[in-house]
Structure 1
Amino acid sequence: MRIVSIINASSSSGFCHGQNFSYDGDQGPLHWGEEYHSCIGKYQSPINIEEHNVKNVSLSPLRLIGIDNPYQSYVTNTGHTVMLKTNESKAATLSGGPLQDNYVFEQLHFHWGENDYEGSEDLVNNHSFPMEMHAVFYKEDYKSFNEALNHSDGLAILAYLYEVSPQPNPAYEPIVRVLRDIEVMGKRKALQEPLLLESLFVPDIAKMQDYFTYFGSLTTPPCLEVARWIDFKDRQQLSHEQLAAFRDLQTPEGDKLTHNFRPVQPLEDRVVFHNIPKEQNTLSNTHHSDGHSGQRNVKIPILFVALGALVAIFLFAI
């Protein structure tokens, strides 16, 4: 079993199948706190990440173990999102970075908007993206996902942001192909071929070295504040047609699920950290030192040239 290291790169929907909430009207996000009091807590997600306000850190490498194993997977229309789970008893695990312990993969799901200009939950510099994927892990020590929800360090969530590409992304085609079969809420469909989570979690390890991380909550009711968020800066690519396929899913009322993202919440006194790889810091320091050394090497010859010119002028005057 291979260990994939992301060298210091950088309950959500699907937790609440059948619960009574919506993204519009009297049961929309503005009213969630009336029934689910945690939704008006101090440390809620999603947030707007302002890059000029983050604190730079260099954490240990994130480690994803078991994501190169082929998993039999199935996707479900929960009425609030598309959720993917695996049938394997030996789940992939996550550790390192801002995490102090091992976390076990539970599920992944998506958030999207009614067009290609909005749909992500977290924003970056007030910019929205057409889709966001959340890969949800629970702390291994708590033995189960449900027990982890009772602890402030219960969950770790990897967040991926998407941009529109002229070409479809082949890694997502197995998921997109079954969406037409699960348009009705509650429908479930197995993927035809085993899924390599690696193709979704680490599409390009060289670009997975920068991420933002902060403490927050589930982005759907009951909005429990139990999640360490890890938002990767690298953008994934999906075609317009792939994005549009998600918007044909149906809500519990039978309407099209054209959007399922929660508006951003106040940051309050939280700090958002930007992870910078230690290797990059070393290179930066080396480059900085070389720069100063070079400046000194340039100054010394110029000084000799100037002294030589003064001596020549003096001799000529004599």
Structure 2
Amino acid sequence: MAQDNHYAADTLSEVNSSELNEAPSNIIVALGCEEAALPSPIDININNAERIELPALSWDNYEKTSLKFKLINTGETVIIRARWAEGEHPSIRGGPLEGTYLFSQIHFHWGNSAVDGSEHTIDGASLPLEMHVVHFSTKFKDRKEAVKHVGGILVIVYFYNLKSDPNKYIAPVISNLKQITFPDAVIKITPFPILNLFHTFSSEYFTYWGSTKTVDSSHPVLWMISRTQECMDFHQLTQFRCLLDQQMRVIRREPKQVASQEGRHLFHVNPLTHYTNSTLSVLPHSKYINDRWVVDRMDIDIGAPGGCKELIEVIHREMRERNLQLDG
């Protein structure tokens, strides 16, 4: 294995220096054969990421409103599924992708408190909520077939941080969670563009190969992780913690063991600056330009060494204090 990892590193270095402009996405595709069996999630740290330039991503039809839109409580998470008119199904191509990937579903990962929600960690710390936008390759007839193959599944990750005001874009989901309190409950809601829940990007993201496990199998996944965060307020976050599992207990999500990055590549794709210390951007997406974030009140030099970690620690401390106030 050590020899294989050394070979992968040497190959990457060689392509970076001589062939990167010809077929950079082929680097990612080739690494999948060796690295897609490695477990996920991992800790994302920009200092451990290799910079790479890839073609732009092409996002198609994410702004289209679906014909049907439903929320499902599986007893483990909340899933969003939708159906579009013919020719309007959202899809993505370009970047590290080989071919086109169709949107499949969205689901969420939250914790038992505001400080342990995300599956991936950032600089060793968890964030309040992690959203997975799942896609499957058009090489396969459906997602069930695609999960069996390397390159079959793409998961785009968005971290949700806390801000002072509620997020109006995710409000239609949050306000209907009480309708799916019980496991296996399903509700159809008024359709809206799924792009309201996240944002498109072609630069400043991370990508790596890994896998997810079920009880009896492991499925390879190509992960793409946005550096720009989405957001919600504390009350919106707590609504996820009212959902019940199959034993009619509040869904409790034990943090997953973060896997080692050893033997795999984490890429920082199309960085806009030559150097940054911040793993995630603390600047809100432009759609939140008129909203206040919790971080607006914090006097932190995010560009300084350790600035991102300090930011996360301050947010965690503030959330713990708020939880104590509510409990009191």
Which amino acid counterpart does residue 112 of structure 1 have in structure 2?
W
The Cα offsets for residues 42-88 of structure 1, whole Å up to 9 and x where unpaired, read as 51111112221110011111121111110121000001100000022
Report the TM-score when normalising by structure 2: 0.68
**Counterpart residue number, 1:102:** 100
**Counterpart residue number, 1:113:** 111
Aligned counterparts, 1:253-292, within 5 A: 253-259=247-253, 261-277=255-271
The Cα offsets for residues 219-275 of structure 1, whole Å up to 9 and x where unpaired, read as 554562421000111111111111000000001111101436523122230000001
**Counterpart residue number, 1:57:** 52
For 2:224 and 2:264, locate their aligned partners in 1 and report how far apart those are by CA, in whole Å. Answer: 14
- 1:140 CA displacement: 0.6
Matched, 1:231 2:229: no
**Counterpart residue number, 1:194:** 191
Whether the aligned pair in 2 keeps the contact of 1:44 and 1:223 (CA below 8 Å) is no
For 1:74 and 1:221, locate their aligned partners in 2 and report how far apart those are by CA, in whole Å. Answer: 26
Count of residue pairs the alignment pairs up: 236
Aligned counterparts, 1:87-236, within 5 A: 87-88=83-84, 90=86, 91-191=89-189, 193-202=190-199, 209-218=203-212, 220-222=214-216, 224-236=218-230
| Structure 1 range deviating more: 262-271 or 68-77 | 262-271
For 1:249 and 1:263, locate their aligned partners in 2 and report how far apart those are by CA, in whole Å. Answer: 23
For 2:116 and 2:245, locate their aligned partners in 1 and report how far apart those are by CA, in whole Å. Answer: 19
- 1:96 CA displacement: 1.1
Q: Give 4+ residue runs of structure 1 displaced > 3 Å after superposition.
A: 219-223
Give the 3-state SS of the residue equivalent to 1:142 in structure 2. coil
**Counterpart residue number, 1:286:** none
Whether the aligned pair in 2 keeps the contact of 1:44 and 1:225 (CA below 8 Å) is no
For 1:46 and 1:163, locate their aligned partners in 2 and report how far apart those are by CA, in whole Å. Answer: 19
Instruction: Name the Cα RMSD after superposition.
Output: 1.9
CA distance 1:221–1:96, shift in 2 (3 Å): farther
Whether the aligned pair in 2 keeps the contact of 1:219 and 1:262 (CA below 8 Å) is no
CA distance 1:107–1:197, shift in 2 (3 Å): same
Whether the aligned pair in 2 keeps the contact of 1:43 and 1:225 (CA below 8 Å) is no
Which amino acid counterpart does residue 255 of structure 1 have in structure 2?
R
Q: Please list every run of 5 or more consecutive structure 1 residues that lacks an aligned counterpart in the other structure.
A: 1-40, 282-318
Give the 3-state SS of the residue equivalent to 2:105 in structure 1. strand
Whether the aligned pair in 2 keeps the contact of 1:214 and 1:228 (CA below 8 Å) is yes
Structure possessing the higher relative contact order (Cα contacts under 8 Å, 6 or more residues apart): 1
Which amino acid counterpart does residue 245 of structure 1 have in structure 2?
Q
For 2:213 and 2:159, locate their aligned partners in 1 and report how far apart those are by CA, in whole Å. Answer: 15
For 1:264 and 1:140, locate their aligned partners in 2 and report how far apart those are by CA, in whole Å. Answer: 30
Structure of higher CA gyration radius: 1
**Counterpart residue number, 1:74:** 70
Identity of aligned pairs, percent?
28
- 1:200 CA displacement: 1.8
Whether the aligned pair in 2 keeps the contact of 1:159 and 1:231 (CA below 8 Å) is yes
For 1:219 and 1:245, locate their aligned partners in 2 and report how far apart those are by CA, in whole Å. Answer: 27
Report the TM-score when normalising by structure 1: 0.70
For 2:146 and 2:82, locate their aligned partners in 1 and report how far apart those are by CA, in whole Å. Answer: 19
